[in-house]
Amino acid sequence: MREYLLTLCITAAVTYLLTGPVRKFAIVAGAMPEIRARDVHREPTPRLGGIAMFFGLCAGLLVADHLTNLSQVFEASNEPRALLSGAAVIWLIGVLDDKFEIDALIKLGGQMIAAGVMVVQGLTILWLPIPGVGSVALSQGQGTLLTVALVVITINAVNFVDGLDGLAAGMVCIAAAAFFLYAYRIWYSYGVEAAAPATLFSAILMGMCLGFLPHNMHPARIFMGDSGSMLIGLVLAAGAISVTGQVDPDALNLYVGSEKEAVHQTVPVYIPLLLPLTIIAVPAADLILAIVRRTWRGQSPFAADRGHLHHRLLEIGHSHSRAVLIMYFWSALIAFGALAYSVNSASMWIVLGVVFLSAIGLLLLLLPRFTPRAPRWMERFVPPRYRRRVSVPALSPEASTPASAAVAPGVAGVSGANGATAIGPRSRLADRRKAGTR
């Protein structure tokens, strides 16, 4: 665990330290597009944050390669090199899009190429764990198609949700944390070494997101752009592919008793292949809704609009920060709920806890429809919008007449052309306060 934490910290530090210089480079390079109709921010903000995240990824892999235990991952598997190759391809396409805004079909082709590069180097789905049936081996063609589809869907799901400051980085960080705990448990609790690459990928992904978040929280000083959103989407998909398609459920038989029980233990990773990712179910749902909505209107599925989930949260009255926190909440609930179910699926308390937290989430969604007021003794501890409004009496005509008011001490009057003395701002404020106390 210490080596994973060291890798995470190095990745986060490199990403954080490079984001500032990358921001200056993006400004000089002109990677600051004009405000578009669908944008939430009101000032031009530089992109290309994915440059810092990519070098953070490289630093994390380099450090892990020189650590005693993690270096075995590079010796026993080619998956880290496959990830780096695919990440380099998708990162270059994202950088070009952040600068020149390339066509959506070209980006889609680049995403498929990046997935194909990883498949060629061995990062592919070999079999599917199906509950109640067991492990089903896939042919080379089936595994390739399923891997490419999963990578493309995950990349676009993360890319679509990248619409508010800190939203994509935070949600992916939450998903990576849940995935790290699951993969770490598979490796060290069951002794399945095939889960080691996925554990490493999740730790590095958390470092990339945590290092970039301080620069990207509202109000953001830099955006990750497609170079960052597609990159973290690919890394997240690579971890899911590694632990799902490479870990044989038969290897768990010695620990859980039977193959069906072993397959049941892989449910938190099996479900992502169908949704496609439970750990990013909220972005995946946003992706599906966006495609249906745009197709119904006769538009291209890749045509941008303001109908995403985070846009709707803003429209119903949530603030920018509250909308982001609500999306965080639902992502954490789904990801860690699946993780808890994988640990003890027989516990009814887990189901009741998820239901209770879901009710809290629905209450948070409806919060703008009513404005709760805190008791008077708590007003000093809550934001102004939750305090009771005190009605201010209207000013009388005599008190509001400047000519009848005296000049307040310490404020010099200014003589006008007719000899009358103009009243300064402080004297007017004092007269209004006096009038309100009568």
| pLDDT value of residue 57 | 96
Q: What is the band of 304 on the pLDDT scale with cuts at 50, 70, 90?
A: low
CB neighbourhood size of 355 (10 A):
10
Note the pLDDT tens digit of each residue in 10-49. 999 999 999 999 999 999 988 876 665 555 545 778 888 9
| Dist CA 86 CA 147 (whole Å) | 13
* Amino acid letter, residue 67: L
| Phi, psi at 130, each rounded to 5° | -110, 120
Reference 19, options 210, 219, 157; nearest CA is 210
CB neighbourhood size of 182 (10 A):
27
> Which two tokens mark 138?
């896939």
Q: What is the pTM of this model?
A: 0.73
Mean pLDDT value across residues 248-259: 52
Domains of the chain, by residue range, sit at: 2-35+43-306
Q: Percent of the chain beyond pLDDT 90?
A: 26
Q: What is the band of 5 on the pLDDT scale with cuts at 50, 70, 90?
A: very high
Note the pLDDT tens digit of each residue in 75-86. 888 999 999 999
Question: Between residues 417 and 224, which one has the greater pLDDT?
Answer: 224
DSSP element (H, E) containing 151 = helix 140-161
CA separation, residue 93 to residues 46, 83, 114, 255 (Å):
17, 16, 10, 44
> Which two tokens mark 206?
């958390």
The mean predicted confidence, pLDDT, of the chain is 75
Distance of CA 102 to the CA centre of its chain: 24
| pLDDT value of residue 112 | 95
Question: Between residues 396 and 209, which one has the greater pLDDT?
Answer: 209
Question: Between residues 296 and 434, which one has the greater pLDDT?
Answer: 296
**CB < 8 Å & 24+ apart, contacts of 184-189:** 184/1, 184/4, 185/343, 186/243, 186/247, 189/255
| pLDDT value of residue 405 | 42
CA separation, residue 64 to residues 60, 197, 204, 435 (Å):
6, 11, 9, 71
DSSP element (H, E) containing 430 = helix 425-437
Please work out, in degrees rounded to the nearest 5, the angle formed at the alpha carbon of residue 202 by the alpha carbons of 158 and 141: 70
Note the pLDDT tens digit of each residue in 107-152. 999 999 999 999 999 898 887 766 566 667 788 888 899 899 989 9
